[in-house]
Amino acid sequence: MAVCVAVIAKENYPLYIKTLPNENELKFHYTVHTSLDVIEERIHSVSKNTNDLRELYLGLLYPTEDYKVYGYVTNSRIKFIIVIESTNATIRDNEIRSMFRKLHNAYTDMVCNPFYTNGDIIEST
């Protein structure tokens, strides 16, 4: 299972960050924040090279000793980040992909809500 899920706005501020309740939340905030470096770099290198449709799923961003950080960027540059524990070997790439796809669908549904203004902090009940 993922230990942290984050939705980051186009301008790189957090819209939503959820971590396992008994974990050190701040540490994950830092982890998510630092992973933006890699995401930005990937987006840049892709947009420079081709005009083709970009793959939304960025895959493993970078490994740390304890966690694996995966990234996904929508076409409107909303970033989804999922952090998995390194020891968890059971989750495969396909499952990460499907997790992102579900997250993307959930985000799309939320944006469709007429009471949500774009760019506001997301509140989950």
Partner 1 sequence: MLSGLSCLLFRLENAFYELAQAYYHHESRVVKAHRDHLNKTTHALLFVRHQFKVAFYNELKQDSHTALKHYRQAYLHLHELRITDYNLLEIKTNSCIVNFKICKLCFEHNTPLDAISQFRRHVDIYKSKIGTADLAFEHSAWMSKQFAVFGDLFEEAIRAGLTAIQTQHPGFYYQEAARYAIARKQLCRGLCPAELKYPASDPLAEADKMEYYGQRPWRQGHQSLEAPSVQKEREGIQALQYRECQVDHSWLVIPLLSSAIAQFKKYKSPRMKRYLVVQMGEEYYHAKDYSKALALLGRVTWEYRSERWWSILTNILQLSLRCAYLVMSFEEYVTVSIELMGRYAQVPREEKIRIQMNLHKIFQDEVPEPEHGCEHDSVEKGRALWTTISAGGKSRSPIVVEMNSITAFVECKACFTADSFLCESPVTVKLGLHSFAPMPIRFSQLSVRFSNEAYNQFGIVVDENAVDDPIESTSYLKPGQTLWHTFQFIVEQDDVDCNLSIAGVDLVLGSLEGCCATLRWTDGGGDAIVHPFATQVHRKKVALNADFSVVSWDVLPSNYSTHISPREANLDVQLLQKGPALVNEFYLMTVSITNTEVAQISNVRTSISVVTAVADAVATAQPNTFLYEDIDLPCSQLISMPLLEELKPNQKVDNVAYVRCVDSGARLMCIQVSYQIPIDISGKMSMCNCMKEITSSIEVCEPFNITVSLTNMKFEKIEKVQLGEAFLSRMEVKCLSPWPVALQGSSLNLAKLVKFADEESLSQLTDVSLKQNDCAVEFRCLLSSGQTPSEIDIGSYSIEWRRVQNGAAVPFASTTVSLPTVEAEPIPLSLHVDMPAYGHMKAVLPLTYLLHNQTPFVQDMEIAMESSEAFMLSGHKQLFFRILPDSQHILRYNLFPLFPGYVTLPRLRVNMVRYSGVLDQLLSSVVPTHIFIKPFEKKVSA
- Dig out the tokens for 68 from the structure: 């694996």
30 is an interface residue for partner 1 by CB under 8 A:
yes
Among residues 2 and 32, whose Cβ is nearest to partner 1? 32
Decide if residue 119 touches partner 1 (CB under 8 A).
yes
Of the candidate spans 50-58, 77-85, 89-97, 115-123, the one that interacts with partner 1 by CB under 8 A turns out to be 115-123
Binding site for partner 1 (CB under 8 A): 9-14, 17, 25-26, 29-30, 33-34, 36-38, 41, 61-62, 64-65, 117-120
